[in-house]
Structure 1
């Protein structure tokens, strides 16, 4: 596999995060390990196949730890690694920004929608 050279830190971070699902998987695992089925139930709008691919990619990247328990029926749990927790911590300001601006973001026209006139969120001098 060819190693990639990045132009900046944002380029590297987005490459390891890749799309919305990985960020949401990190978020769901933030409170502790989950079995695959539990994770699947919490992830709305993702197919099982896509979830499997995303979890494998995250494991390969070192963001997730997969623990397999030798029992019947087989049990697998996923948890965040230290590297995954550090990415989640870095995402927290972005999540806060999203919460503050959700109304504006929801009003952004998509797929031929008519333009909206959103009201900006109230901000303070400190953020």
Structure 2
């Protein structure tokens, strides 16, 4: 398992939130679990760009930070489901607000993101 080589800077609320939610897919993982997508295969279908390895690492980190719980069912093959903890559920209104902000500003956000993207990415989006 990966162990950080430096001590995290945890002097304010933003540092703490960043430490817990840092990761490209964590916010989306939490949102999709909230929507009822509880199994890793369901999450992978919802987020097709995430690799299985990265998904598992980020699920483990969310579990370590007590935002989700993992239940393993004693069947063959083993079945795993994740659910939000009460603590993790407190993030859902914030994630929803961030999503609304993104929807309201999506045209501008796409423009500024693509403006600084690699030319090959910009061409791929235009086609």
| Range of TM-score over shorter length | 0.7 to 0.9
Question: What is the aligned partner in structure 1 of residue 124 from structure 2?
Answer: none
Specify the SS of the correspondent of 1:54. helix
Alignment partner of 1:64 out of 68, 73, 77: 68
Question: What is the aligned partner in structure 2 of residue 111 from structure 1?
Answer: 117
Deviation of 1:19 (Å): 2.6
Unaligned runs of 5+ in 1: 114-127
Matched-pair contact (CA < 8 Å) for 2:23–2:58: no
Q: How many pairs are equivalent? A: 113
Separation in structure 2 between the aligned mates of residue 106 and residue 33 of structure 1, nearest angstrom: 27
Larger gyration radius, structure 1 or structure 2: 1
TM-score by length of 1: 0.79
Matched-pair contact (CA < 8 Å) for 1:21–1:54: yes
Matched-pair contact (CA < 8 Å) for 2:68–2:82: yes
Deviation of 1:33 (Å): 5.1
Matched-pair contact (CA < 8 Å) for 2:31–2:95: no
Specify the SS of the correspondent of 2:117. coil
Unaligned runs of 5+ in 2: 120-127
Runs of 4+ in 1 over 6 A off after TM superposition: none
Question: What is the aligned partner in structure 1 of residue 123 from structure 2?
Answer: none
Alignment partner of 1:26 out of 24, 30, 49: 30
Separation in structure 1 between the aligned mates of residue 72 and residue 7 of structure 2, nearest angstrom: 29
CA RMSD in angstroms comes to 1.9
Deviation of 1:4 (Å): 4.3
